[in-house]
Amino acid sequence: MTMPVELADHLGRAVTSVCHCWRLTRKDGVVSGYTDHDRPLAFDGTTFEPGSGLSASEARSSLGLAVDTVDVEGALSSDRIRDDDIAAGLYDSATVETFLVNWIAPGQFALLRTATVGKITRSDQRFVAELESATHAVDQVRGRYVSRSCDAELGDQRCGVALNQPQFSGSGTVLAAAEPDMLTVSGLNGFAPGWFGHGTLTWTSGTRAGRSERIVDHRRDGLGVTLVMGSHAGSPASAGDGFSVRAGCDKTFATCKAKFSNALSFRGFPHLPGNDAGYAYVTEGGNFDGGPVVS
């Protein structure tokens, strides 16, 4: 942390006029500012609003690779922090910058720490966000797992499937939503059942416009085409809401080959022996020439 000379001199006085400010940057680029002072403060290109009810727990910085955390608690009193947005995950992994500011001269400020939003809990119109230090990235799994299933995301650079082809994408409208995760839809009658299972749905209109969700299953029955959605929070979908969908993949070699003709780019190990082969006893007459166990 670099402390400006003016702010350092101010902190050396017997009486100080400092407060904390938080700048929150969501993954979708939305930026908002909050302060525990009783008046709005503007500096570094951001206006920090008061009255948001934000307060912070004790913060600490440790030597080593331990993940430091600090909790930020607040009431849902800001027009820019809505319960539906928190429930929908818009604040997950958001970046939070904590500043120490001289509220008499806001140009005197110092960036204390930069963290990311981890776990968020909500109750009684309050929320508590756990801010994780940058070292939390060291605690993440790196490298690849050796498994029979593919570890690429359908359509990414490692996968190579072009999802903008007509056979892999579609659009439609919600006809009915008897349950939040069971949607009867139109526009997908030309696709085989299961084609969009494990795929993604992006809302193009309605209260959830712009959000993407995972499709658990794609069915066809006497009621028409039904999409079974993964669990979500926030406003439910309604009849008339529009969406676009992309085909899904269950990460198996058979699907990669038959559905996408992409066997050469399969990022798994389909012939990996299972535990039964690994723990089997050696038997007389076995073939131990170093060749593949599964052909």
Q: What pLDDT is attached to residue 143?
A: 74
Low-confidence ranges of the chain (pLDDT < 70): 1, 51-80, 123-127, 134-141, 233-234, 277-278, 282, 286-295
Q: Give the phi and the psi of residue 277 in degrees, each rounded to 5.
A: -75, -40
Average of per-residue pLDDT values in the chain = 81
How far apart (Å, rounded) are the C-alpha atoms in residues 206 and 183? 14
Q: Yes or no: say if 80 and 54 are a contact pair by the CB < 8 Å rule.
A: no
How far apart (Å, rounded) are the C-alpha atoms in residues 246 and 159? 15
* Closest by Cα among 15, 5, 22, 7 to 102: 7
CATH number of 5-138: 2.30.110
What ranges do the domains of the chain cover? 5-138, 166-246
| Predicted structure pTM score | 0.58
Fold of 166-246: Elongation Factor Tu (Ef-tu); domain 3 (2.40.30)
